[in-house]
């Protein structure tokens, strides 16, 4: 039983298969070397305090005493959402493994832009789960962390794919077919990708509902799109294993076209995608739910040019690489 534990968990980009994964199709995601750090410590007293902050906004503090919640939100309703993931993770671990939440303080520090589609909430869920479990003397496997963290996201959001929490927990590049298979896969030690992001117009939940409505109106058409995305994912699996950047880029471009057919892209995403390709990217596509958010471009040898092009298209750019470690505890 410790008095202070810090855990870091990486953010996640979706390389292939987003939205189709909701319909049981496979997807591939990658942990990135930007993420979230969560510190859980015992301070004494009766309150449970969650403090969240990032590099842009000043933060939020939520205090729970008994059954009541007192919060002071400063410049950041989005950060208040992160605090809710941390609270839920604490409660789920406490209910499953014991541990008194009185006198606990949680501090969340994020390197990830909130709402950019880089799995910030998953990283918070994973890091909080690991840190609090370690604080109360419980050793969890990465697979157990992934399951518990997915339960956190389900509790907060109502529905969630296990892809983000699994990838943040395991690290590296992860292949998932819901309910069937979840594993790390072979990939080049470095993927030369550039990530750009713009403000989102719709949440992932709203976009998932839109796709579902499209499916209800055109089931045969949308079925074919989902089947095509599955073929893309499986071909990408082989291309990653061989380190075939040319083929990966082509598959990214095809995947983007299929996502556009589902109606989850928009003009701001398209601007970044086409500017990135014109600057030399082998492939570029949205990453995540869409409606804004993240765009990922495969840009071997031209990362700087593609970064400039994405900025000219109105995006903010993140330089990143694969995180191969997944969640890590630092005492």
Determine phi and psi for 22, rounding to 5 degrees.
-65, -25
Give me the catalytic one of 33, 75, 100, 164.
164
Mode of pairing for the β-strands spanning 283-287 and 68-74: unpaired
Q: Mind giving me the DSSP string for 149-194?
A: HHHHHHHHHS---SHHHHHHHH-SEEEEETTTEEEE----S---EE
Rounded Cα distance between 183 and 26, Å, is 11
Whether 33 is a known active-site residue: answer no
Rounded Cα distance between 61 and 114, Å, is 17
Helix (H) or strand (E) holding 330: strand 328-330
Helix (H) or strand (E) holding 196: strand 193-198
Helix intervals (H) in the chain: 77-97, 120-135, 142-157, 163-170, 204-217, 219-242, 245-261, 267-278, 303-312
Rounded Cα distance between 227 and 188, Å, is 26
* C-alpha closest to that of 50 among 85, 11, 74, 78: 85
Buried b (16+ CB within 10 A) or exposed e, 52-69: bbbeebebbbbebeeeee
Residues designated as active site: 164
């Amino acid at each position: 039983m410790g008095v202070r534990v810090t855990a870091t968990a990486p953010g996640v980009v979706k390389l292939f298969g987003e939205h189709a994964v909701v319909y049981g199709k496979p997807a591939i995601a990658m942990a990135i070397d930007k993420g979230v750090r969560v510190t859980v410590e015992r301070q004494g007293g009766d309150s449970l305090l969650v403090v969240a902050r990032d590099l842009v906004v000043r933060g939020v503090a939520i205090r729970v005493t008994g059954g009541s919640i007192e919060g002071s939100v400063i410049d950041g309703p989005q950060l208040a959402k992160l605090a809710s993931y941390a609270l839920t993770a604490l409660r789920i671990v406490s209910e499953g493994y014991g541990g008194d939440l009185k006198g606990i303080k949680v501090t969340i520090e994020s390197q990830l832009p909130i709402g950019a589609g880089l799995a910030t909430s998953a990283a918070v869920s994973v890091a909080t789960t690991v840190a609090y479990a370690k604080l109360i003397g419980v050793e969890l496997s990465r697979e157990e962390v992934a399951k518990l963290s997915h339960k956190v996201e389900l509790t907060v959001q109502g529905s969630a794919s296990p892809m983000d929490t699994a990838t943040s927990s395991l690290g590296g590049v992860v292949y998932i077919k819901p309910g069937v298979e979840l594993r790390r896969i072979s990939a080049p030690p470095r993927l030369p990708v550039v990530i750009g992001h713009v403000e989102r117009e719709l949440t992932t939940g709203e976009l998932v509902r839109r796709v579902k409505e499209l499916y209800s109106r055109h089931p045969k058409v949308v079925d074919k799109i989902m089947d095509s995305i599955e073929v893309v994912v499986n071909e990408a699996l082989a291309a990653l294993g061989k380190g075939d950047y040319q083929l990966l880029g082509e598959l990214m471009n095809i995947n983007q076209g299929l996502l556009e057919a589902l109606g989850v892209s928009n003009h701001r995403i398209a601007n970044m995608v086409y500017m990135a390709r014109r600057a030399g990217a082998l492939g570029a596509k949205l990453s995540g739910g869409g409606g804004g958010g993240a765009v990922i471009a495969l840009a071997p040898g031209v990362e700087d040019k593609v970064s400039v092009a994405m900025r000219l298209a109105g995006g903010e750019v993140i330089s990143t690489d694969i995180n191969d470690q997944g969640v890590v505890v630092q005492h």
